[in-house]
Structure 1
Amino acid sequence: MTLFKERLESSLTDAGMSKVKFAELLEVNDQNITHWISRNGVSKGKLFKAAKILNVDPEWLNTGTHSVKEIAEEYNPPNTDKTTLTAVSITGKIPVISWTTAGDWHEIASNLQDYDADEWIPAIGSHSAQTYALRIRGDSMEPTIPNGSTIVVDPAIPADSNRVVVIRQNGDTEATCKRLIIEGGKRYLKPDNPRYPILEMLPDAVICGVAVKIVADL
């Protein structure tokens, strides 16, 4: 497991931010950060704000581990009329589907009871009946969503700016996972990993749902 100092330095590098700027945004001084490094973790009062500034999972930042968590829910609560959702899933489980199937999920979801998924995961929390899960392939959404983890996707959640969405475009048969950015009337698809380029959302794009949870091994 990595040390907090290593995770902090890695996150600062990915964010292109200095420790001085980080401390300024967090409204602390250098001594606070030095103290966190010596105790190998952020104080609870500043943890979520620090994670938001660095755009990382707060649990990973503080402990180096991932678990089931809401994606950016702490600072990006879904703008959803929850009366339109149901807390009851199919036999209490969510189907894990392929990225190709996700691209056509809006057509399959109406017959969800007849869909024979190869794998199911337990339902956690409230979600719509069309909710599904996907295995992440690749590192374009790291550190927010690690390669190999599973995301839970709810098509009933509005795709607001800064939400992580599953989307298909450019005639692709497979969907992909990116962060939706809406600026100046235009829509962009932003990987959380800065090594990958930001893409413009094309006219033929179909949003297949909003990622609401990550399931990963500790």
Structure 2
Amino acid sequence: MKMKEITQIRLENARLLAKQAGGTTTFALKVDREPTQMSRVMGSNPTKNIGSKLARHIEACFGKQSGWLDYDHGIRDTSDSYDANTMPIAQPLRYYRYPVVSEAQAGWFAECVVPYPAGMEERQETTDYEAKGSAFWLEVTGDSMTAPLGMLPSVPEGTLVLVDTGINPAPGKLVVALLDESNETTFKKLILDGGQRYLKALNPAYPLIPINVNCSIIGVAVEAKTKL
């Protein structure tokens, strides 16, 4: 491939990364360069090319393999023109897929981390959130987490909540817990009152559940999505 072609491919790939990052300024900060320098390199009429040294540096900053900028990945900028100062809404650089599990399967995470082997999931949902531990989506059932009108947060029945098992379950977090006595899982808010930990429903019609050694916190809810 001719150097001229490589230079053009580098430019197109770098522009895509800049749009995903949120603009030239954000892109420049991420690669530790001045925005004006990046504008000269990637503007509508660039006055400088992306050399090999800068290309490798950009790849490293975005977690790409060495040489990624030099190849045509079949991804194209579909906008009519490139404006170095005006960008579309930033898009995630990467998506992650996590299984959707039932309340019964959620309890298994406390024992074996995953409810079934990878690739055998009945259903998966995507997100741009990178979990710190094993993660799963749990579909909320019942109205215990539906807060009174005007109160937030409120997690009504049918909502999918992403549960990350790698986050510390600090008081104030919404958590999925396994109650040892009933061997049932529940989705509640973890609170601390007078040195005693409780699981609290967002719906005030439900009582507090005091917990000590009779409960295992499986994970912390980090995201919610509702399909209409």
TM range (shorter): 0.5 to 0.7
Percent identity of equivalent pairs = 30
Measure how far apart 1:173 and its partner are. 2.9
SS in 1 for 2:184: coil
Equivalent residue, structure 1, for 2:124: 120
Moved more, 114-123 or 178-187: 114-123
Q: Does residue 149 of structure 1 match 2:153?
A: no
Indicate the SS of the match to 1:177. strand
TM-score, normalised by the number of residues in structure 2:
0.52
What is residue 109 of structure 1 aligned with on the other side? 113
Cα deviation for residue 201 of structure 1 reads 1.1
Aligned to 1:201: 211
TM-score by length of structure 1 reads 0.54
Are 1:190 and 2:200 matched, yes or no? yes
- Quote the Cα distance in structure 1 between the aligned partners of 2:103 and 2:120: 15
Give secondary structure in 1 for the equivalent of 2:130: coil
Give runs of ≥4 in structure 1 deviating > 4 Å.
Answer: 110-113
Higher Cα Rg, which structure: 2
- What is the root-mean-square deviation in Å for CA atoms of aligned residues? 2.5
Which residue in the other structure is 2:189 paired with?
A: 179
Post-superposition shift, 1:169?
A: 1.1
Whether 1:158 and 2:176 are equivalent positions in the alignment is: no
Name the aligned partner's letter for residue 157 of structure 1.
I
Q: Whole-Å Cα distance in 2 between the matches of residues 176 and 88 of structure 1? A: 33
- 2:96 corresponds to 1:92: yes
Q: Deviations over 1:83-106 (max 9, x none)?
A: xxxx999x8311001111111203
CA contact (8 A) 2:110 2:216 kept: no
What amino acid maps onto 1:118 in structure 2?
E
Q: Is the 8 A contact 2:178 2:216 kept in 1?
A: yes
- Go from structure 1 to structure 2 and tell me whether the alpha carbon gap of 1:213 and 1:162 turns closer, same or farther (over 3 Å shift): same
Structure 1 contact 170–202 (Cα < 8 Å) conserved: no
Q: Which has the higher helix share?
A: 1
* Distance in 1 separating the partners of 2:126 and 2:97: 4
In 2, the alpha carbon distance for the partners of 1:147 and 1:193 equals: 12
Partner of 1:167: 177
Gaps of 5+ in 2: 1-91, 148-153
Which whole-Å CA distance do the structure 1 matches of 2:111 and 2:139 have between them? 20
Provide the residue aligned with 2:78 in structure 1: none
Distance in 2 separating the partners of 1:216 and 1:111: 23
1:6-21 equivalences under 5 Å are none
Unmatched runs of 5 consecutive residues or more in structure 1: 1-86
Decide whether aligned partners of structure 1 residues 156 and 88 sit closer, same or farther in structure 2, where only a CA change above 3 A counts: farther
Counterpart for residue 48 of structure 2? none
